[in-house]
C-alpha cells in the first residue's frame, strides 16, 4: 500500500591508461584483503540493483515503498493471528496479491522493461495499486480501524504530488474515489449497523474535501516546478553568456588573451607528457595605427574583424588563434614544426592578399601583417616561448614588415 510513498522525493580529451592490480596481489597496500572484503557487500548490492544511475534511483525508491507495503500487510496478518480481523481469508488473499504486485514492479524495474512505459518510474501505476490495497484494507479491518486506511490514502496522494503531473494525480484522485466508493458500499452491505452508516458518511465527506484539496495543491506545486525550471534555464543561459564574455573577444569572436593562456597551459602539459611539439606565432597588423588615424577607429575595428575571419578560415581545425591585445594576435599550432607552421601562416597571408577592406572614401584597403614564429622546447616556460615569438615579430617589422620571421634557435642551459 505504501509503495508510492517514496516517490516524492572542450576541447581536449585524454585517455589515461591505468595498470590493473593482479588478482590476489596486495603487496603494494597494507589494506588489500580488508578492502577486498569491503567490496563484497557492494558487489551483492550491484547484483540486486541496476547499475544505471536513474534506474537504480527508481528501484531504491520502490524497494523502500515495497518494504512499507509488506509491513502493512504483515500487520493485517498479525490481526488475523490474534483473532481481531473479521475476514481472515480476505487478508490472506490481499497479502498474496500485494506480494505478487510488488514482485511484478521489481521485475519491471530490475529488467529495464519499465522504459517501455510513458513514465519509467511507474509512479502512477504504483499509486493506483496502493489505492486498491487501501480500499480492500478498509473493507477488511474492524470498524475502529477504518480511519487508518483513509490516513494512508491521503499520505499516498500527498507524496504523489512531488513526482507526478497534475493530470496524473487527477487520474489517481478519480481512481481513489471510485475504489473507496466501492469499498464503502461493500462495508455498508456487510455491516449495516447504524454506527457504521454514520461512519461511512463521515468518511465520504472527508474524501470529498480532501481529494480536491490534494489536486489543487498538486497543481500549485506543478506551477512552482515550472517556474523553477524556467529560472534554471535563465540562470544556465546567463552563465553561458558570462563564460562567453570571460573567454571570447567580443569584437573579433576569437579567444581572448586570458583563455589563450589556459589553452597554452594545457598544451604545454600535454607536450611535456607526449613529446608532441607545437609552435606559437605572434602576429601584428601592419600600420594599424595609421588606419585608425586616417579612417577612424570604426575602420580599425573592421580591419580586425576581417583579419580574424580570414585567419580563422585559413588555419587548420587543430590550430587555435586568439586576439592577444590591440592589433596583435597569437596562434598556437599543435603537433607542428616550424616549416609546417610557416606554411600555415603564409596561407593566411595569401588569403589576406585576396581581401580588400572597403573604406569610407571608396578606396579598397589592403591589409598586411608581420609574424614571428617560435617552437616550444621541452622544459621551457611558456612565457619564454611567447617572448621568443615576440622578438621574432619585432625582427619581421624591422626588416620591412609583411613577412614571417623564425626565432633564432637558442641553447637551453
Residue 279's pLDDT is 95
CA quadruple 352, 358, 362, 368: dihedral sign: negative
Residue 334's pLDDT is 92
CATH 3.30.70.270 fits 257-406, yes or no: yes
Binning pLDDT at 50, 70 and 90, where does residue 189 land? confident
Find residue 406's DSSP bridge partners: 373
Q: Is the pLDDT of residue 133 over 80?
A: yes
CA-based nearest residue to 67, from 157, 151, 6:
6
Q: Is the pLDDT of residue 33 over 60?
A: no
Tell me the per-residue pLDDT of 156-179, one tens digit each, with 9 for 90 and over. Answer: 887 777 777 888 888 888 898 899
**Lowest-pLDDT choice from 26-30, 75-79, 366-370, 405-409:** 26-30
What is d(CA 166, CA 219) in angstroms, rounded to the nearest whole number?
Answer: 5
Residue 183's pLDDT is 86
DSSP-derived 3-state class of residue 406: strand
**Nine cell digits for residue 228:** 523553477
What is d(CA 45, CA 163) in angstroms, rounded to the nearest whole number?
Answer: 25
Q: Is the pLDDT of residue 353 over 50?
A: yes
Residue 46's pLDDT is 65
- What is the DSSP code (8-state) at residue 407? P
Residue 19's pLDDT is 40
Binning pLDDT at 50, 70 and 90, where does residue 21 land? very low
Binning pLDDT at 50, 70 and 90, where does residue 88 land? confident
What is d(CA 149, CA 357) in angstroms, rounded to the nearest whole number?
Answer: 81
Q: Rounded mean pLDDT of the chain? A: 82
Binning pLDDT at 50, 70 and 90, where does residue 54 land? confident
Cα dihedral: 238, 240, 242, 248 (round 10): -150
The torsion angles phi and psi of 309, rounded to 5 degrees, stand at: -65, -45
8 A C-beta contact, residue 85 and residue 73: no
Q: Is the pLDDT of residue 287 over 50?
A: yes
Q: Is the pLDDT of residue 410 over 60?
A: no
**Lowest-pLDDT choice from 46-50, 242-246, 283-287, 356-360:** 46-50
Which residues neighbour 320 within 8 Å (Cβ) at sequence distance 6 or greater? Answer: 255, 260, 263, 331, 332, 334
Residue 80's pLDDT is 78
Residue 12's pLDDT is 35
Q: Is the pLDDT of residue 150 over 50?
A: yes
**Nine cell digits for residue 322:** 586568439
Chain centroid to CA 136: how far?
43
Residue 218's pLDDT is 80
| Mean pLDDT, residues 206-220 | 83
**Lowest-pLDDT choice from 24-33, 62-71, 138-147:** 24-33
Burial bucket for residue 394 (CB in 10 Å: 0-12, 13-18, 19+): middle
Residue 5's pLDDT is 36
Any idea where the domains of the chain sit in the sequence?
3-8+35-236, 257-406
Residue 385's pLDDT is 94
Cell 557492494 -> residue? 42
**Lowest-pLDDT choice from 70-79, 288-297, 366-375, 401-410:** 70-79
8 A C-beta contact, residue 90 and residue 140: yes
| Mean pLDDT, residues 55-82 | 81
| Mean pLDDT, residues 117-136 | 87
Q: Give the number of C-alpha atoms closer than 13 A to the C-alpha of residue 268, restricted to the C-beta side.
A: 18
Chain centroid to CA 89: how far?
51
CA distances for 189 relative to 148, 182, 183, angstroms: 20, 11, 10
Residue 386: CB atoms within 10 A of its CB come to 19
Q: What percent of the chain has pLDDT over 70?
A: 85
- What is the DSSP code (8-state) at residue 263? H
CA distances for 407 relative to 4, 265, 389, angstroms: 72, 21, 6
Residue 316's pLDDT is 94
Q: Is the pLDDT of residue 297 over 80?
A: yes
Residue 383's pLDDT is 93
Amino acid at each position: 500500500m505504501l509503495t508510492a510513498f517514496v516517490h516524492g522525493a572542450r576541447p581536449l580529451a585524454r585517455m589515461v591508461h591505468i595498470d590493473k592490480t593482479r588478482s590476489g596481489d596486495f603487496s603494494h597496500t597494507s589494506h588489500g584483503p580488508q578492502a577486498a572484503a569491503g567490496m563484497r557487500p557492494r558487489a551483492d548490492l550491484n547484483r540486486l540493483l541496476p547499475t544505471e544511475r536513474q534506474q537504480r534511483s527508481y528501484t531504491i525508491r520502490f524497494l523502500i515503498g515495497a518494504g512499507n507495503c509488506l509491513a502493512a500487510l504483515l500487520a493485517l496478518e498479525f490481526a488475523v493471528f490474534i483473532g481481531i480481523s473479521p475476514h481472515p481469508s480476505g487478508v490472506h488473499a490481499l497479502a498474496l496479491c500485494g506480494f505478487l504486485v510488488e514482485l511484478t514492479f521489481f521485475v519491471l524495474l530490475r529488467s529495464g522493461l519499465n522504459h517501455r512505459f510513458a513514465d519509467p518510474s511507474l509512479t502512477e501505476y504504483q499509486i493506483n495499486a496502493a489505492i486498491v490495497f487501501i480500499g480492500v484494507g478498509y473493507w477488511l479491518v474492524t470498524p475502529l480501524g477504518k480511519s487508518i486506511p483513509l490516513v494512508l490514502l491521503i499520505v499516498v496522494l500527498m507524496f504523489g504530488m512531488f513526482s507526478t503531473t497534475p493530470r496524473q494525480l487527477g487520474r489517481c484522485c478519480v481512481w481513489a474515489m471510485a475504489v473507496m466508493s466501492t469499498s464503502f458500499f461493500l462495508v455498508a452491505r456487510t455491516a449495516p449497523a447504524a454506527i457504521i452508516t454514520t461512519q461511512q458518511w463521515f468518511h465520504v465527506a472527508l474524501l470529498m474535501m480532501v481529494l480536491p484539496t490534494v489536486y489543487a495543491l498538486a497543481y500549485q506545486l506543478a506551477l512552482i516546478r515550472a517556474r523553477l525550471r524556467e529560472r534554471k534555464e535563465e540562470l544556465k543561459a546567463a552563465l553561458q553568456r558570462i563564460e562567453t564574455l570571460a573567454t571570447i573577444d567580443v569584437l573579433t569572436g576569437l579567444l581572448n588573451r586570458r583563455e589563450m593562456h589556459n589553452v597554452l597551459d594545457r598544451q604545454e602539459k600535454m607536450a611535456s607528457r607526449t613529446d608532441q611539439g607545437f609552435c606559437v606565432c605572434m602576429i601584428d597588423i601592419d600600420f594599424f595605427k595609421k588606419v585608425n588615424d586616417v579612417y577612424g577607429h570604426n575602420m580599425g575595428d573592421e580591419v580586425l574583424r576581417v583579419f580574424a575571419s580570414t585567419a580563422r578560415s585559413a588555419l587548420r581545425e587543430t590550430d587555435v588563434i586568439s586576439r592577444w591585445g590591440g592589433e596583435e594576435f597569437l596562434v598556437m599550432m599543435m603537433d607542428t614544426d616550424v616549416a609546417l607552421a610557416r606554411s600555415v601562416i603564409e596561407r593566411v597571408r595569401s588569403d589576406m592578399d585576396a581581401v580588400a577592406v572597403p573604406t569610407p572614401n571608396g578606396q579598397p584597403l589592403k591589409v598586411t601583417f608581420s609574424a614571428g614564429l617560435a617552437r616550444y622546447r621541452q622544459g621551457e616556460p611558456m612565457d619564454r616561448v611567447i617572448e621568443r615569438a615576440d622578438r621574432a615579430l619585432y625582427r619581421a617589422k624591422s626588416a620591412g614588415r609583411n613577412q614571417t620571421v623564425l626565432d633564432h634557435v637558442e641553447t637551453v642551459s
